[in-house]
């Protein structure tokens, strides 16, 4: 008998016979608070930064002023082609190792934990938000939801091969609980809020 | 490498360095306080815990069907599913995937299951080089130690220790103890690893039956760096990681990081549904004793665990004995109810490594009644003859004394006499009660003696 059969049979035999019903999630996440303020406060608290911008031109000038634009910049946002390359989607992902800044869009953000939801259709390549030294994510102000419950309502049955919530820069506290930003992924995250 | 010391013996060694134990205790308590702060910011925290618990109860009672649903959906997503009855089969499956691709190197993010299965040792015997990419795990791997905590693998080490280790293995400056500098060194060293490995192995935090996807949570981004740059992704999970629907992640992702470290969420919560175009993804579903635990009515709810580590951070015994004293991949209170299921005789000491104070149960995000299960395991272990003979004899002796008033009276008198006239007989290192505390001064008389006298006196008074 295969292990699959043995395991499944044993599970069937040993699992509790009384069926426990699934709980209703409808009563969760209904607390009301100022969504954008909460988002900003939490993001600051976990080491991220934000900039409110009116349009893509404002992002371009911010990036020119604050990042080393002579280094490699990549994006999936056509409006940012002036400052970042848009021709790398089919390259070997390893070739992205020297990227200084990746700029992508998020579907939405979550106020309670400042996480941003991105999926592979926004990423160009799955590794694009993990491999650069710095990361910038653009999100519409109206696309911030309160809690993870609204977040998954919004995701619903969305089809993706890969999706991730990104909350702040990569970090570790594995050495004596001292927080260090930039463990393996981005050392810094800037969130651009668009109207 | 596996320690054969009992928990109490290992804890005694750990306790020799008083300053260090105090530091360990305080560091973990600091994490526990961060958890409290995060939890208190959510007014519906208790409802969240209850909801998570109910979802997991539902999973336990539908495990068979959910696993089939998960398997079929994952296969539709292009993922290969493997089933492993035990650690050995798990290790063989992983190795066979490496062999099929002719690859001798692997990068691995955190997976307590692979620690449980001793995968690294197995692969190393087969000539495969495994590099753990979580910073804490890399530190302990370089030191040839197991992790001492499921979330904070190197929590038992001071920065000076890490500095020494990195100086020896990564060539960092001797005596430079700056965590920022040391982390940067590890970042550079591991970046090279990520860029050159063709196989990446990860654990699984949640597997969703409805969609056939898995979720992996990290702060460092190491799981993603490994997987997205590799040709083959192997994800290993105990079958209890299954949850019914995608929307249930909302509950667990709100609880997990807040319970673990007090963060509102981990930096990355990655949902892997299909392999990258032209690449491979494998999921190994492991039993290794879990089906047996599922059948133990008193202990099956231990399978609800989401591995946040909150029970360890709050445990007064864990904080003062260190993770290694539990000689099990998962230490602390939850480890002590999982371990006896894996090997009763080897882990019979662990359910006794607790004060049964119940703090673990109070912080558990899925409401496992951990301290009750520790207490119940003790009864099972004694019944099945896994406790030391000395303890059994002592307990039987105690039972005889307590059941017989004459013997009890005599034993009390003898005890008081000894403590008064020959204190050295009890105030010595052979008596475990004397450790770190003075024996109390013996009373002049026992309560029985006092009562007899006083009851008589007051009766005489009444009669007057």
Binned at pLDDT 50, 70 and 90, residue B327 comes out as very high
The pLDDT value recorded for residue B259 is 98
Mean pLDDT of B367-371: 98
* Cβ <8 Å between B64 and A176: no
The pLDDT value recorded for residue B389 is 80
The pLDDT value recorded for residue B71 is 98
Structure token pair of residue A175 = 């050495």
Residues in A closer than 8 angstroms to B228, CB to CB, are 93, 125-127, 130-131
The pLDDT value recorded for residue A50 is 98
What's the sign of the alpha-carbon dihedral B26, B31, B32, B37? positive
pLDDT (tens digit per residue) in A169-189? 999 999 999 999 999 999 999
The pLDDT value recorded for residue B2 is 43
Residues in B closer than 8 angstroms to A183, CB to CB, are 135, 183, 187, 219-222
Mean pLDDT of B10-35: 96
The pLDDT value recorded for residue B464 is 67
Mean pLDDT of B325-350: 96
Residues in A closer than 8 angstroms to B267, CB to CB, are 46, 166-171, 185
DSSP secondary structure of B188-203: HHHHHHHHH-SEEEE-
Query: What average pLDDT does the structure give for chain A?
Result: 97
Query: What average pLDDT does the structure give for chain B?
Result: 94
Measured in degrees and rounded to the nearest 5, phi and psi for residue B104 equal -110, 0
The pLDDT value recorded for residue B68 is 98
Residues in A closer than 8 angstroms to B239, CB to CB, are 7, 11
**At residue A66, does pLDDT exceed 70?**
yes
How close does chain B come to A103, measured CA to CA in Å?
A: 17
Mean pLDDT of A139-154: 98
Nearest-Cα residue of chain A relative to residue B135: A174
Contact status, residue B290 vs residue B238, Cβ threshold 8 Å = yes
The pLDDT value recorded for residue B266 is 98
Residues in B closer than 8 angstroms to A22, CB to CB, are 54-55, 58, 244
Q: Strand, helix or coil at A72?
A: strand
For the entire predicted model, the pTM comes to 0.93
Structure token pair of residue B339 = 């371990």
How close does chain A come to B66, measured CA to CA in Å?
A: 11
Measured in degrees and rounded to the nearest 5, phi and psi for residue A74 equal -130, 155
How buried is residue B139: exposed, middle or buried, by Cβ count under 10 Å (0-12/13-18/19+)? buried
What's the sign of the alpha-carbon dihedral B32, B46, B309, B205? negative
A186, A190, A191: which is closest to A131 by C-alpha? A186
B112, B280, B108: which is closest to B194 by C-alpha? B108
How buried is residue B387: exposed, middle or buried, by Cβ count under 10 Å (0-12/13-18/19+)? middle
Which of B47, B57, B269 is closest, CB to CB, to A164? Answer: B269
Binned at pLDDT 50, 70 and 90, residue B458 comes out as confident
Helical ranges in B197-315 per DSSP H? 222-229, 249-260, 290-295, 310-314
DSSP structural state of residue B396: H
Rounded distance, CA B204 to CA B272, Å?
10
* Cβ <8 Å between A170 and B31: no
pLDDT (tens digit per residue) in B398-454? 888 888 888 888 888 888 888 888 887 777 777 777 777 777 788 888 888 889 888
Rounded distance, CA B228 to CA B223, Å?
9
Rounded distance, CA B34 to CA B309, Å?
13
Contact status, residue B155 vs residue B27, Cβ threshold 8 Å = yes
pLDDT (tens digit per residue) in B122-156? 999 999 999 999 999 999 999 999 999 999 999 99
Residue owning tokens 């526990």: B32
Q: Strand, helix or coil at A109?
A: strand
CATH code of the region A33-194: 3.40.50.10420
The pLDDT value recorded for residue B129 is 96
Taking residue B347's Cβ as centre, other Cβ atoms within 10 Å add up to 23
Mean pLDDT of B228-252: 98
**At residue A153, does pLDDT exceed 60?**
yes
The pLDDT value recorded for residue B100 is 97
Could you give the domains of chain B? 1-41+311-387 (no CATH), 42-288 (3.40.50.10420), 405-463 (no CATH)
**At residue B245, does pLDDT exceed 90?**
yes
CB pairs under 8 A between A and B: 245
Rounded distance, CA B284 to CA B403, Å?
54
Which of B250, B287, B300 is closest, CB to CB, to A148? Answer: B250
Half-sphere exposure of B68 (CA within 13 A, CB side): 8
Distance between terminal CA atoms of chain A?
A: 61
Mean pLDDT of B213-228: 97
Measured in degrees and rounded to the nearest 5, phi and psi for residue B456 equal -65, -45
């Amino acid at each position: 008998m295969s292990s699959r059969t043995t395991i499944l049979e044993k599970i069937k035999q040993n699992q509790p016979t009384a069926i426990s019903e699934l709980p209703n999630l409808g009563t969760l996440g209904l607390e009301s608070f100022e969504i954008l303020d909460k988002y900003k406060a939490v993001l600051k608290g976990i080491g991220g930064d934000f900039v409110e911008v009116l349009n893509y031109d404002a992002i371009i000038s911010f990036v020119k002023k604050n990042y080393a634009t002579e280094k490699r910049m990549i994006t999936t946002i056509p409006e940012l082609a002036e400052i970042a390359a848009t021709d790398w989607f089919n390259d070997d992902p390893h070739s992205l190792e020297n990227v200084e800044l990746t700029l992508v869009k998020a579907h939405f953000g979550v106020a309670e934990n400042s996480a941003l939801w991105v999926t592979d259709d926004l990423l160009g390549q799955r590794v694009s938000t993990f491999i650069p030294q710095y990361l910038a994510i653009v999100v519409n102000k109206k696309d911030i939801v309160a809690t993870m419950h609204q977040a998954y309502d919004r995701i619903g049955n969305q089809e993706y091969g890969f999706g991730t919530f990104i909350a702040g820069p990569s970090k570790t506290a594995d050495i004596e609980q001292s927080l260090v930003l930039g463990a393996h992924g981005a050392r810094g995250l800037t969130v651009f809020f668009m109207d | 490498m596996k320690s054969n010391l009992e928990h109490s013996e290992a804890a005694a060694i750990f306790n020799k360095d008083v300053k260090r134990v105090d530091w360990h205790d305080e560091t973990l308590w600091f994490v526990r306080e961060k958890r409290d702060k995060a939890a208190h910011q959510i007014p519906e925290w208790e409802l969240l815990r209850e909801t998570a618990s109910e979802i997991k109860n539902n999973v336990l009672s539908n495990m068979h069907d959910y696993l089939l649903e998960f398997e079929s959906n994952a296969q539709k997503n292009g993922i290969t599913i493997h089933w492993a009855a035990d650690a050995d089969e798990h290790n063989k499956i992983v190795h066979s995937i490496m062999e099929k691709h002719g690859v001798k190197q692997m990068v691995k993010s955190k997976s307590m299951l692979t620690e449980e299965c001793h995968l690294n040792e197995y692969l190393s015997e087969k000539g495969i080089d495994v590099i753990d990419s979580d910073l804490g795990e890399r530190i302990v791997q370089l030191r040839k130690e197991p992790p001492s905590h499921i979330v904070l693998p190197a929590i038992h080490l001071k920065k000076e220790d890490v500095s020494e280790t990195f100086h020896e293995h990564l060539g960092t400056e001797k005596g430079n103890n700056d965590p920022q500098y040391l982390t940067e060194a590890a970042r550079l060293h591991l970046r090279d690893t990520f860029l050159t490995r063709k196989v990446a192995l990860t654990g699984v935090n949640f597997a969703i039956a409805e969609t056939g996807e898995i979720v992996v949570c990290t702060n460092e981004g190491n799981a993603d760096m490994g997987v997205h740059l590799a040709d083959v992704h192997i994800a290993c999970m105990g079958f209890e990681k299954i949850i019914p629907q995608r929307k249930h992640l909302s509950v667990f992702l709100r609880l997990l990081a807040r319970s673990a470290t007090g963060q509102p969420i981990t930096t990355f919560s990655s949902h892997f549904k299909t392999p990258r175009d032209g690449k491979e993804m494998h999921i190994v579903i492991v039993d290794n004793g879990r089906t047996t635990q599922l059948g133990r009515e008193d202990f099956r709810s231990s399978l609800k665990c989401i591995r946040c580590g909150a029970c360890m951070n709050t445990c007064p015994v864990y904080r003062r004995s260190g993770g290694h004293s539990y000689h099990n991949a998962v230490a602390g209170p939850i480890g002590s109810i999982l371990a006896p299921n894996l090997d009763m005789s080897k882990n019979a000491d662990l359910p006794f490594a607790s004060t049964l104070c119940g703090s673990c149960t109070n912080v558990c995000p899925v409401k496992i009644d951990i301290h009750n299960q520790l207490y119940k395991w003790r009864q099972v272990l004694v019944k099945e003859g896994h406790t030391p003979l000395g303890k059994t004899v002592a307990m039987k002796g105690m039972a005889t004394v307590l059941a017989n008033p004459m013997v009890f009276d005599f034993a009390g008198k003898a005890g008081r006499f000894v403590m008064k006239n020959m204190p050295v007989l009890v105030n010595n290192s052979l008596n475990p009660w004397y450790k770190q505390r003075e024996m109390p001064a013996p009373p002049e008389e026992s309560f029985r003696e006092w009562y007899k006298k006083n009851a008589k006196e007051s009766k005489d008074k009444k009669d007057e």
